[in-house]
Amino acid sequence: MKNLAENFGCSRSGTPNGSDPIGLFDSGVGGLTVLREMYRQLPNESLLYFGDTARLPYGTRSQCEIIQFVREILHWMVERRAKMVIMACNTSSALAIETVRQEFPSLPILGVILPGASAAARQGKRIGVISTPATAASDAYRQAILEVDSTAEVWQIGCPEFVPLIEQGRIDDPYTYKVAQTYLQPLLDRNIDTLIYGCTHYPHLAPVLKSIVPSSVQFIDPAVSVAKAASQELEILGLRNLQSPLPTQFYVSGDPQPFVEVARKWLGHHTIVQQVALSESVAVG
């Protein structure tokens, strides 16, 4: 296999600067939930967002495919001088992080699973995780939670219908409510005290999920903890941005228009989104 670590060294000119952007990626609009948290906790950083909408959903793909997609994205982000990359995608974090950390040894790469699992293990004992089928099958959340608290109980449910419904903007559709009820019922039957959004798309469904789950259940959004971890890591590496941040750069691999619409709703402002084949780009917005 081609040595991407070498590519990382070659394609990047010079050492990283604090003013370089932090890269975030997801299969689509899910990572916007992490982006929003980055705006809140690290308002001074410049951000570069990539949504792999042409190859979405990731959650029903094989580990091999996901590793290859993540490799391509990281390579592209390195070319665009990302000083750090946040995998704003649980599926990638569950299935690819270990491999790509070895392939890009000098790039700080943060995933959402460990920060999310630690936050949940500190809060609850009976923990439900809703995620893509690939994340659920990887068992990554259970393993990470048990590392922190070996007495916790964990139930993981794969929810294949959620991502397409969210990408289509069908949050208020009664069908989405029905699907959510079906996915959540086994967790409600277990009397969970904590529920992890184990897919970055799912906080978009918060109003629906919160109307089904008792108010005593605490929701954990790993975005909050990963943004905090990013902040600590930048401090340790001496890579905080000390200049004014640049506007966020948005790229997608598929049609930019649906992304522009969800981003407007979720972020509350208009965004310019460019389509990129990870080598060329066309602006829309």
Q: Cite the active site residues.
A: 89, 199
Residue with smaller CB distance to ligand DGL, 97 or 239: 97
Mask of contacts with ligand DGL, 90-119, x by CB under 6 A? xx----------------------------
Task: Name residues contacting ligand DGL, limited to 51-70 (CB under 6 A).
Answer: 56-59
Query: Minimum distance between the CB of residue 127 and ligand DGL, rounded to whole angstroms?
Result: 17
Which is nearer to ligand DGL, 156 or 241 (by Cβ)?
156
Q: Select the span of 143-151, 185-193, 194-202, 242-250 touching ligand DGL (CB under 6 A).
A: 194-202
How far apart CA 278 and CA 80 sit, in angstroms, is 11
| Min separation Cβ 206 and ligand DGL, Å | 15
The answer to whether residue 130 forms part of the interface with ligand DGL (CB under 6 A) is no
Q: Nearest-5° angle of CA 222, CA 53, CA 72?
A: 85
Is residue 156 a contact residue for ligand DGL (CB under 6 A)? no
Could you tell me the smallest distance in angstroms from the CB atom of residue 222 to ligand DGL? 9
Q: Which of 155, 132, 160, 158 is nearest to 142 (CA)?
A: 155
In the complex, minimum distance from the CB of residue 48 to ligand DGL, in angstroms, rounded to a whole number: 17
Q: Cβ of residue 143: shortest distance to ligand DGL, in angstroms?
A: 16
Pick one of 24, 67, 199, 239: the residue that binds ligand DGL (CB under 6 A): 199
Q: Which residue matches tokens 């952007």? A: 21
Using the rule CB under 6 A, which residue among 89, 119, 140, 227 binds ligand DGL?
89
Nearer of residues 227 and 239 to ligand DGL, judged by Cβ: 227
Binding mask 7-46 vs ligand DGL (x if CB under 6 A, - otherwise)?
Answer: -------------------xx--x----------------
Shortest Å distance, C-beta 163 to ligand DGL: 4
Query: What residues are paired with 220 via a beta bridge?
Result: 196
Contact 176, 165 (CB under 8 A): yes
Q: Do strands 194-197 and 218-220 pair parallel, antiparallel, or not at all (unpaired)?
A: parallel
Catalog residues that contact ligand DGL under the rule CB under 6 A: 26-27, 30, 56-59, 89-91, 132, 135, 163, 199-201
